Structure 1
Amino acid sequence: MEKLALFGGKKAIDTTPEYKWPIITPSDKDYLLKMIEENEISYNFKSEEIDRLEMNFKKYLKMPYCLALNSGTSALYTAFIAIGISEGDEVIVPSYTFPATVIPLIHMGAKIIFADSENNTPLISIEDVKKKVSKETKLILVTHMDGFPVQVNLIRAWLKEHEYNALILEDCAQAIGAEVDGVKVGSLGDLAIFSFQQKKLLTGGEGGLLIIKNKEYYERAILLSYLQKRSFEEISDGRLQQYCYTGLGFNFRIHPLAAGMVNQQFSKMDNYADKRRQNMRMFEESFNSIPEVKLIGRIHENTLPSYFSFKFLYVDEAVDITKYVEALNAEGVPIVVSTTKPLHLEPIFSNFNSNKFSMDFLNKKLTSQFADPLIYCETYSKKVLRLPAYYDLTKEQVIEFANAFRKVGKNKNSLK
């Protein structure tokens, strides 16, 4: 057998494909330079670019209200306050999600109830959600993790059947362009957020978006995140108009240059997503006989993922996962163990007891309080591997990746 590169053998991949994102063209640069030359660097001076961004998404998602903000985290924070989450309110959240999905809730003093994942997936378990919903549940938060859509329609139907009034908020930060039954994520729940951070399929470097169906929630969100100008122009509710001058506390609006960068890529977004799906099909063809890993291509047949990255489950128990990854890295495969961890195990939640956050919280000694196990997300987090979501891989490059996996698999006894 060919000697592993980890032990001095020849690498399986001579030149590892470069992962570079986003794709910024000369016309993109010219467009942003023109914005600077025209002094479009503040919403309060010129709002056209931000207006254009919001209109793009309202048409794309067929949703009535949209607010462009400076990050997905700000969009979450604004959404939680706008719908009235306050101390003691029950909110069901996925444990397997990015921390920013949940952390803003501690500032409201919400009663955070963690739900497990489906077996061998990064998605919240609908069955576990059903077990944990009560008449007191105010919000169910779902994350379309890694670009794989949650079947929000099933949750909505079940809530309606059992006469529960909980709202549903979709965290679409990693999933723009994904679909359930042909319907885009972001339009399945009552509210949704997107992120335009650099790693995202559609990016402005930084930035976020809040999607809302309810007009009052939308006007509250304006008071929370845009100061004066927009409040005076758009708020029609007489109870809310008295706060137009002061606002309700924050300045979360997006920078026009970030909005301009997103707008420049907007027409290319579907092509970007299709290219990732094309790459996934090549991976599926080339990795169908590698027993050590299982490629996660599609979780539910009625869904269309958009692939935030390419994910593999490591299913071989004979060799430690870190040693396996080390061997692949040596062969030229830029794969890593996913860094996402179940939040219910994190120390911050051992001390959080539905009291609003203050800095005194940091003075408390962290305890090793036992967390109720959520077996599926804990297990998944320990065996999931991540490869960058390349835009322009060739068939030959995918085959090289597969051959590197096969080489390590054939030599796995040397890794024990």
Structure 2
Amino acid sequence: MLPPDGPKPEALYGLPSSVQFCTRCVISNQRPGSVVEFRNDPAARKPSILFDEQGVCSACRYADIKAAEIDWEQREHELRRLCDRFRSRTGAYDCIVPGSGGKDSAFTAHILKYKYDMNPLTVTWAPHIYTDIGWRNFHSWIDAGFDNVLVTPNGRLHRLLTRLAFLNLCHPFQPFIIGQKMVGPRFSALYDVPLVFYGENQAEYGNNIEDNFRPTMDPAFFTAEPNVDSLRLGGVGARDLIRDHGIRPADLNPYLPVAPDRIRRTGTEVHYLGYYLRWDPQECYYYAIENTGFQPNTERTTGSYSKYSSIDDVLDHLHYYTTFIKFGIGRATYDAAQEVRNGKITREEAVALVHRYDGEFPSKWIDQILEYMDLDITTFERVIDEARSPHLWKRTENGWQLRHRVA
């Protein structure tokens, strides 16, 4: 360990050098801010989670606002007016709902169709490797009464991008996140359906509270001139992908932002249903079980205690393992923090769950993951260890240990 008067260990990824945990939930100030993934622009990253003078994070403060200050009856009236404005009178699709058939997208599509009389087209950006339960839930979603377009990206390219994203960024989900963000607005433009609904605004879980008071997604997240020269995927410029890996420019189309003129022509508006209806992930789970046949997994999610979140993609397990490595925040922290805010568990219970499960290695899935990314375990371990920020991690005779744990 460093002597008390020695230099502070370096903080990578633009993270705060001093670690602070919320006094209300279990999230830390190391939670990364949102980022426009397709741009190589530091200005596109928003600040990480904010803490007030009482040590309470912005996500917990917004939970207070949701509970006591928002008029949810008025918000639902706004939703009904929005649906009235866009509802088709001819039987055509009148909104796009992106999702996988997990609890959140199942709730969103079902309640829009069967309570608010909309006719949604569901669109899915395919997982890297479907889990058995994820595939069954996807089909249960469709069987509950929805048309669906399953967008499966070029397998050779997507595997390559995932591999590069892991090697260069320790962020194997980056290409998936880009496709997932783009698929709703893209199909809005392709099918001339201007209204798109995602579930909750990720600002609920941190960043500036004011972001939650806008019902629509910032267009910067999905629209820009589709310029291959400015596109970076997996930490590599698109021109390098074309030159070094034999990728055709046309293969990159699904990862490009949607052109502003197409968005204007369609009049695309991307709304968060969580702005209009009080969003609670566990209540979405109960609703999806009852109305779409959604099933939880038979075992808990690796790195957490829950059985119903992030269960459709094998690489989800790697994604949350890498967030633990880079930011000291794993799946259990994310799950427990939001359940404290929603009154499902106490902070004391959350701390115990984080200590028990956070950062669990995805040993059950590692062979499939390595095969998918065409990596050996030695390379994998090297990337993981190089991604550990010195201000979060120390090496001891018993291996790597976090310098700071929630208490």
TM category (shorter chain) comes to under 0.3
Higher share of residues assigned helix = 2
Give the structure-1-normalised TM-score.
Answer: 0.27
Higher gyration radius (CA): 1
Give the structure-2-normalised TM-score.
Answer: 0.28
